[in-house]
């Protein structure tokens, strides 16, 4: 069994690396030909855990702005102050007491409710963050049941999701994810595997040997 690569640590969470991003798509290609490859299944579960951790961290960070909805001051909505409206949402969901502590342990399902039920300024929270929370919840469900096909679909979905002004993963990667999403979309299997960690690259190139020779000579 090959030694698994170390994850790069950055501050409170481990940022997603270039190779890990491509590992997802390399593993997808491998599992198409070898659906029972246990090594790739195990690596995919690890990658799913990392995406879940990053996404929950991003959701909880955004919810720092929940009380004032990102308005940064007293702002009325429908005759009420935003702070009062959002505090009422917290109270209704049983989250008002010790909110600052509870925010750090919110589930993706709770985050989804807060993004949809809260009153938010244009550049904060709202439905786009709600979509990210729901996609994270769906990935967690797929991970719980080790549904590899669904895990791949959910991660691919997360890679494409934007908050109110950029891809939400932009601040949680060690590379320009927008650029590599564009590259990945037009890449052939050889180019995908060349960007993966060496373990995934070796397995993939062995499985796709004949096709890779065609790409290499094209």
**Could you tell me if residue 81 is inside a domain?**
yes
**Could you tell me if residue 4 is inside a domain?**
no
pLDDT the model gives residue 209: 79
- Find how far residue 205's CA is from the centre of its chain: 27
**Could you tell me if residue 181 is inside a domain?**
yes
Cα separation, 90 vs 2, whole angstroms: 48
Condensed to tens digits (0 to 9), the pLDDT of residues 7-60 reads 444 346 889 999 999 999 999 999 999 999 999 999 999 999 999 999 999 999
Helices (H) and strands (E) in the chain, counts: 11, 2
**What band does 90 get if pLDDT is binned at 50, 70 and 90?**
very high
Give the CA distances from residue 37 to residues 20, 84, 141, 204, in Å, rounded to whole numbers and listed in that order. Answer: 18, 53, 21, 11
**Could you tell me if residue 9 is inside a domain?**
no
Higher pLDDT pick, 166 / 6: 166
Specify burial of residue 196 (Cβ count, 10 A radius: 0-12, 13-18, 19+).
Answer: buried
85 in Cβ contact with 77 (< 8 Å): yes
**Could you tell me if residue 75 is inside a domain?**
yes
Model's pTM, two decimal places? 0.89
**Could you tell me if residue 61 is inside a domain?**
yes
Q: Which domain holds residue 159?
A: 18-217
Count up the domains in the chain and report the number. 1
Question: In DSSP terms, which residues pair with 139 in a beta bridge?
Answer: none
- Using alpha carbons only, what angle is made at residue 90 by residues 89 and 91, rounded to the nearest 5 degrees? 90
Is 4's pLDDT higher than 60? no
**Could you tell me if residue 45 is inside a domain?**
yes
**What band does 164 get if pLDDT is binned at 50, 70 and 90?**
confident
Quickly tell me which residue has 């320009």 as its tokens: 176
Specify burial of residue 217 (Cβ count, 10 A radius: 0-12, 13-18, 19+).
Answer: exposed
């Amino acid at each position: 069994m090959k030694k698994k690569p170390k994850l790069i640590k950055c501050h409170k969470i481990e940022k997603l690396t270039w190779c890990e991003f491509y590992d997802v798509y390399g593993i997808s290609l491998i599992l198409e030909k070898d659906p029972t490859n246990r090594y790739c299944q195990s690596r995919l579960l690890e990658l799913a855990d990392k995406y879940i951790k990053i996404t929950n961290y991003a959701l909880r960070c955004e919810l720092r702005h929940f009380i004032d909805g990102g308005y940064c001051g007293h702002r009325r909505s429908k005759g009420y102050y935003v702070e009062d409206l959002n505090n009422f949402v917290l109270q209704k969901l049983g989250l008002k007491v010790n909110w600052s502590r509870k925010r750090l342990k919110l589930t993706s399902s709770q985050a989804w409710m807060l993004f949809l039920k809260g009153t938010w300024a244009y550049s904060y929270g709202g439905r786009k963050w709600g979509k990210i929370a729901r996609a994270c919840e769906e990935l967690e469900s797929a991970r719980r049941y080790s549904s590899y096909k669904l895990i791949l679909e959910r991660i691919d979905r997360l890679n494409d999701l934007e908050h109110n002004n950029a891809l939400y993963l932009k601040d949680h990667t060690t590379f320009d994810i927008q650029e590599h999403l564009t590259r990945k979309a037009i890449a052939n299997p050889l180019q995908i595997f060349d960007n993966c960690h060496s373990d995934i690259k070796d397995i993939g190139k062995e499985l796709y040997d004949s096709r890779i020779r065609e790409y290499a000579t094209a």
